[in-house]
Structure 1
Amino acid sequence: MKRRGRAVDGVLLLDKPYAMTSNAALQSARRLLNAQKAGHTGTLDPLASGLLALTFGEATKFSADLLHADKTYVAGIKLGQKTTTGDLEGEFIETRPVQVTRADIEKTLESFRGEIAQIPPMFSALKRDGKTLYDLAREGVSIEREARSVRIEKLDILQFADELLTVEVTCSKGTYIRVLAEDIGEALGCGAHLASLRRTKVGTLSIEDSVTLEALESMSIQERLNVLKPLDALMTTLPAVHLSENDRVRFCHGQRLALGLQSCPRVRVYGPDEQMVGTARVNERGVLEPERLIANKKDIETTND
């Protein structure tokens, strides 16, 4: 059966709106691009807005490349109020007076920078015995969770007024910003919950280069295709290897190439036309070993002739 839609290859940096699931955003973008195949590089909570990198066609082979990348957020933390979920989705369960200064907050934030331990929240997608913690929490069940080590690379105050603390956070994979907000509130002695969250960076990708669904709606199909980033947009931190045409053809057929390169866990590979043809590793003997290959339309047409 022929797939519906067109073969679209590339990466879309979407500014996901508040209160929309990542999957709903993906399907909306897929419809607007009329794309056959689509995926994402990690979800963003419905109550968060901001950068969501979507992949189409051959780019879906590299969706996992951003899963371990650091993320940057702008978070609004409401001091003095706690909720059942740690954010606005839950019910308010406690209110305390807020008697802290900006200097108090800055001193407290120092202890949250670097490697810290976090206990995952009950309201999360983590599973225990095949059931999500979120579902267990909905049933009124609370189970013990082991603390996890995460890294807070950056934690700066952007604004503090009317008991609302706005911070910029750069953190490692697996960091729960609402848990961070709650823990900061406890450290300050007044409690807190996450009032707003916006993701501004994923790895080297920035919200400044993103587009909204509303903007996509107003574009022609060609304009929508033009905003797509190339396949290698997800892998700019990997070293690049450039091949001759003869080696490109051999590489695209899955052959190893003894090129005498420096050993490297992962590289991105290009042909002489500067088009990316896949990713590979370079073993200790300097041999280029194909990892993921990009289907080259020119090679496919040549093979079919």
Structure 2
Amino acid sequence: MIHGIINVYKEKGYTSHDVVARLRGILGQKRIGHTGTLDPDAEGVLPVCLGKATKVCELLADWDKTYRAILLLGQVTDTQDVSGEILETREVTASIKEVYEAIQSFKGEYAQVPPMYSALKVNGKKLYELAREGKTVERKARNVQIHEIKIHEIVLPRISMTVNCSKGTYIRTLCHDIGQKVGCGGCMEQLLRTQVGMFRVEESLRLDEIEVLHDLGQLQEHMAAIDSLFSLYPAVTVKQEYQKLLDNGNELYGRQVGKQGFPGQDGPVRMYGSDGNFQAVYEYLKKENRFRPMKMF
């Protein structure tokens, strides 16, 4: 079984589930999980976890994300992007300055109401399933963080921009909300996810490329190791005579690990076996000179 994270370039037309299904066929293993949905019409970075790395799917889903988007003003749709049914069209009468100021006003924290066409669940049913049945339910606004909006070009009614934001942010909804603020409505015309945490679009691999690399036996060279996600944590190695304690996920004490990389303060550490293989994330408690397990791999 292969263990690690692949930086997949999700192409248009694929759902995140489609990507996982295709990878299961290519790699011949079932233990695969993606790190958050990306709309079928969107493309770009989709980190996929293999084997033991599926334990960090939630961690990756929590990372900040960066998108390159095109906002189309003057058009409102039921999906908040151009793939949906057009509900309204209006003339764009706002000036470039007014549009610019409206976009920049969304920087920082704002309460965003998730779209009906989304994978969020209400009473056990996905919102997009209800939407397809013609139903609309009340959704609670969620606070999201827009760290930065960089505008590349404004040629009305289109705006090209890059958005860096927190997890759970819907760029479709951001485009819709900007349109409402401008006063003419708006929707998302194009979306490319360029970064998820440490994973950048420049290093991403398309599914066909992954298949070739796997056939050549070179895929592992293009994957991120699990411990690379915790590179900021000190690295600690258990002594050989206490290896079984680590294997069983037991607590460890300072005398049971090597001195190299020993932490000087409380906090998480990368725990390696005596053979040098990464096995877990532990928390060090300085006062008790003790390590307790946080997540085993």
> Shorter chain as normaliser: what TM range?
0.7 to 0.9
Whether the aligned pair in 2 keeps the contact of 1:65 and 1:235 (CA below 8 Å) is: no
Distance 1:286 1:116, change over 3 A: farther
Note the C-alpha offset of 1:201: 0.9
Distance 1:125 1:109, change over 3 A: same
Q: What is residue 299 of structure 1 aligned with on the other side?
A: none
Q: Distance in 2 between matches of 1:262 and 1:61?
A: 26
Matches within 5 A, 1:52-71: 52-71=46-65
Matched, 1:214 2:208: yes
Q: Distance in 1 between matches of 2:181 and 2:202?
A: 33
Matches within 5 A, 1:1-305: 7-219=1-213, 220-236=215-231, 238-246=232-240, 248-259=243-254, 262-264=265-267, 266-271=268-273, 274-283=276-285, 285-294=288-297
Moved over 6 A (4+): none
Instruction: Specify the code of the residue in structure 1 equivalent to 2:223.
Output: L
Paired residues, what number?
286
Whether the aligned pair in 2 keeps the contact of 1:26 and 1:38 (CA below 8 Å) is: yes
TM-score (norm 1): 0.86
Note the C-alpha offset of 1:138: 2.2
Select between 196-205 and 119-128 the one with higher mean Cα deviation. 119-128
Instruction: Specify the code of the residue in structure 2 equivalent to 1:291.
Output: M
The gaps in structure 2 that reach 5 residues or longer are 255-262
Instruction: Specify the code of the residue in structure 2 equivalent to 1:130.
Output: G
Whether the aligned pair in 1 keeps the contact of 2:73 and 2:156 (CA below 8 Å) is: no
Q: Aligned-residue CA RMSD in angstroms? A: 2.1
Select between 86-95 and 282-291 the one with higher mean Cα deviation. 282-291
TM-score (norm 2): 0.88
Distance 1:215 1:101, change over 3 A: farther
Instruction: Specify the code of the residue in structure 1 equivalent to 2:220.
Output: L
Instruction: Specify the code of the residue in structure 2 equivalent to 1:145.
Output: R
Note the C-alpha offset of 1:163: 1.7
Note the C-alpha offset of 1:127: 2.3
Select between 168-177 and 157-166 the one with higher mean Cα deviation. 157-166
1:171-199 Cα offsets, whole Å, 9 max, x none, are 11111111100011111111110111111
Whether the aligned pair in 2 keeps the contact of 1:32 and 1:217 (CA below 8 Å) is: yes
Q: What is residue 302 of structure 1 aligned with on the other side?
A: none
Q: Distance in 2 between matches of 1:35 and 1:228?
A: 16
Instruction: Specify the code of the residue in structure 1 equivalent to 2:235.
Output: V
Distance 1:130 1:62, change over 3 A: closer
The gaps in structure 1 that reach 5 residues or longer are 1-6, 295-305
Note the C-alpha offset of 1:286: 4.3
Instruction: Specify the code of the residue in structure 2 equivalent to 1:281.
Output: E
Provide the secondary structure at the position in 1 that maps to 2:190: strand
